[in-house]
Amino acid sequence: MIAKQRAGTMDKIVALSKRRGFVYPGSEIYGGLANTWDYGPLGAELKRNVKNLWWRTFVQKRRDVVGLDASILMHPRVWEASGHVVNFNDPLVDCRTCKSRFRADHLIEERLHRQAEGASPDELSAILREANLPCPNCGNRTLTDARQFNMMFATTIGPISETGTRVYLRPETAQAMFVQYKNVVATSRVKLPFGIGQIGKAFRNEITPGNFIFRQLEFEQMEIEYFVKPEDGATAFDDWLSAMRGWLRLIGVREDHIRVREHAGEELSHYSSRTVDFEYEFPEPMGWKELYGLANRTDFDLRQHQEVSGEDLTYFDQAENRRYLPHVVEPTFGVDRTCLVLLLDAYDEEETLDVNGKPDTRVVLRLHPRVAPYKAAVLPLMKKPELAETARRLFSRLDEELGALVDYDETGNIGKRYRRQDEIGTPFCFTVDFDSLQDHAVTVRDRDDMSQQRLALADVPDWLRERIG
Ligand code: GAP
């Protein structure tokens, strides 16, 4: 229902992102490179706010989590051990007529409304043959059977591709946390239970990327591998489930747009004994789709790396005087999907009057102040030197004292400047007018309800700090 009401919002977000500098299509002057996107000035701030807040919340503020910043390129055997070389596949079908490619499970879900994720190529092929589906592109009933397609991007180290070493761009940040687990235990005095957190790029050769920044070839993840005693996996799983809910509240995602879905057995990844997805209700035609995941990876990864590398990865538990391979619970968060959901959730249109009193639509991004690119804007009412002096002084104070981004804008009609700030999600505008020179106060305008109040200049930094958290 909600998805239906919000149909069309995705297109509006794509347009607004381009118009205001949140996200641009990649390599646009060369005709673009499909499914690559670049964050513009405001998008870069939004994304940075998300990552900083996540790092502060889950790494710096928690005594039981430490950070890691690992290489994208890892030894190729990492991906043999992790199971990605054999298992990280998507089932694809080709059209014999127009040569288009599709993900078999997505095709079945979209056309036949049947859950198909995790089904084997044989099972998918049987469903496709029975339904005799037409190609979504050309309409001919000439789809092949489903076959597996590995999603890792490969490249070569060394000047000559034939003799160089074939390596992969990591498809998840997680593996570095397993591979460096022994070094972290040896050097950072962590004791079980503890986590290693990381934010970084991951790459996947997706067959059906799309929906703006939802499914890309190159994206960012924020992941934690949380190491626990083998018997404590279930408790840690529940704790992380509520920590993830807390995160969604912190960044201001609407609770009625979120649901938690348990993976059925056949849908589980090769490493997982239990997985839940945090799904978000995207506007139609997308509907409910994965935003984040939480998995119990058991001791699968450490056991595999121990076997393939020959290194002893067991943990010596001094308190219990026993040695074992820890189990791992993994909360994983997509950075780009977070940004997308924040933009979609924040987007609103309001029927109102323009500066000339004519009916108008006000576009407003109701971003939580914690993630908004600009926390506030300082606006002299007119471009006059006496107003600029006071306004500049306030701007410098906020800039220095707040440690967050504030905008300064003195050109154009004040109503239009408010509208611009509404559209980019700036929660508060401080307007310096001629009265400010006498009463040493400014007008504070609230983005969400457009209310205005007077506030002493001296009180502005504390007032703002209190509201942006
Ligand atoms: N280490 C576990 C792991 O990588 P995943 O569910 O495959 O699990 C984790 O990915 C998160 O990464 C997803 O929940 C999603 O937010 C994000 N993600 C995955 N593939 C993506 C893609 N192609 N484009 C953008 N984000 C993606």
CA quadruple 334, 338, 340, 344: dihedral sign: positive
Decide if 9 contacts 347 (C-beta within 8 A): yes
∠ at Cα 241 (51, 290), nearest 5°? 65
Domains of the chain, earliest start first: 3-86+152-344 (3.30.930.10), 89-150 (3.30.40.230), 374-468 (3.40.50.800)
Please tell me whether the overall predicted TM-score, pTM, comes out greater than 0.85 for this model.
yes
Atom index in ligand 1 nearest the CA of residue 213 equals: 25
334 Cα–ligand 1 center, Å: 6
Q: Ligand 1 pocket: which of 50, 219, 263 to mutate (most atoms <8 Å of CB)?
A: 219
Atom index in ligand 1 nearest the CA of residue 334 equals: 16
222 Cα–ligand 1 center, Å: 9
What is the rounded CA–CA span in Å between residue 150 and residue 172?
A: 14
Token pair of 67 as six digits: 């950070």
What is the rounded CA–CA span in Å between residue 168 and residue 190?
A: 30
What is the rounded CA–CA span in Å between residue 218 and residue 201?
A: 7
Atom index in ligand 1 nearest the CA of residue 214 equals: 25
Instruction: Decide: 375 in ligand 1 pocket, CB within 6 A.
Output: no
Instruction: Decide: 301 in ligand 1 pocket, CB within 6 A.
Output: no
Decide if 103 contacts 136 (C-beta within 8 A): no
What amino acid is encoded at 166 in this protein?
Answer: R
What is the rounded CA–CA span in Å between residue 269 and residue 174?
A: 14
pLDDT at site 2: 67
Cα 155 from chain centroid (whole Å)? 26
Decide if 296 contacts 274 (C-beta within 8 A): yes
Torsional class of 95: left (φ above 0), alpha (ψ -120 to 50), beta (otherwise): beta
Instruction: Decide: 293 in ligand 1 pocket, CB within 6 A.
Output: yes
136 Cα–ligand 1 center, Å: 26
Instruction: Decide: 337 in ligand 1 pocket, CB within 6 A.
Output: yes
pLDDT at site 260: 98
What is the rounded CA–CA span in Å between residue 371 and residue 49?
A: 5
What is the rounded CA–CA span in Å between residue 389 and residue 434?
A: 12
Radius of gyration of the chain (CA): 26
- Other beta carbons less than 10 A from residue 99's beta carbon: 10
Contacts of 318-326 with C-beta under 8 Å, sequence gap 24+, read 324/229, 324/230, 325/230, 325/299, 326/192, 326/227, 326/228, 326/229, 326/230, 326/299, 326/302
Phi, psi dihedral angles at 95 (to 5 degrees): -100, 125
| Residue nearest atom 15 in ligand 1 by C-alpha distance | 334
pLDDT at site 71: 98
What are the b/e assignments for 343-373, b being 16+ CB within 10 Å? bbbbbeeeeeeeeeeeeeebbbbebbbbbbb
What is the rounded CA–CA span in Å between residue 221 and residue 23?
A: 18
Q: Ligand 1 pocket: which of 178, 247, 298, 332 to mutate (most atoms <8 Å of CB)?
A: 332
Token pair of 111 as six digits: 């056309």
What tens-digit pLDDT sequence spans the chain (469 residues)? Answer: 567 778 789 999 999 999 999 999 999 999 999 889 999 999 999 999 999 999 999 999 999 999 999 999 999 999 999 999 998 888 999 999 998 889 899 899 889 988 887 788 899 999 999 999 999 999 999 999 999 999 999 999 987 777 778 899 999 999 999 999 999 999 998 999 999 999 999 999 988 778 999 999 999 999 999 999 999 999 999 999 999 999 999 999 999 999 999 998 878 888 899 999 999 999 998 999 999 999 999 999 999 999 999 999 999 999 999 999 999 999 999 999 999 999 999 999 999 887 788 899 999 999 999 999 999 999 999 999 999 999 999 999 999 998 889 999 999 999 999 999 999 999 999 999 999 999 999 999 999 999 999 999 999 999 999 998 7
Instruction: Decide: 204 in ligand 1 pocket, CB within 6 A.
Output: yes
What is the rounded CA–CA span in Å between residue 278 and residue 258?
A: 7
Atom index in ligand 1 nearest the CA of residue 171 equals: 4
What is the rounded CA–CA span in Å between residue 252 and residue 273?
A: 31
Atom index in ligand 1 nearest the CA of residue 204 equals: 23
Instruction: Decide: 283 in ligand 1 pocket, CB within 6 A.
Output: no
What is the rounded CA–CA span in Å between residue 68 and residue 47?
A: 19
| Residue nearest atom 12 in ligand 1 by C-alpha distance | 334
| Residue nearest atom 22 in ligand 1 by C-alpha distance | 215
- Give the position of tokens 């040493």: 440
Atom index in ligand 1 nearest the CA of residue 173 equals: 1
| Residue nearest atom 20 in ligand 1 by C-alpha distance | 215
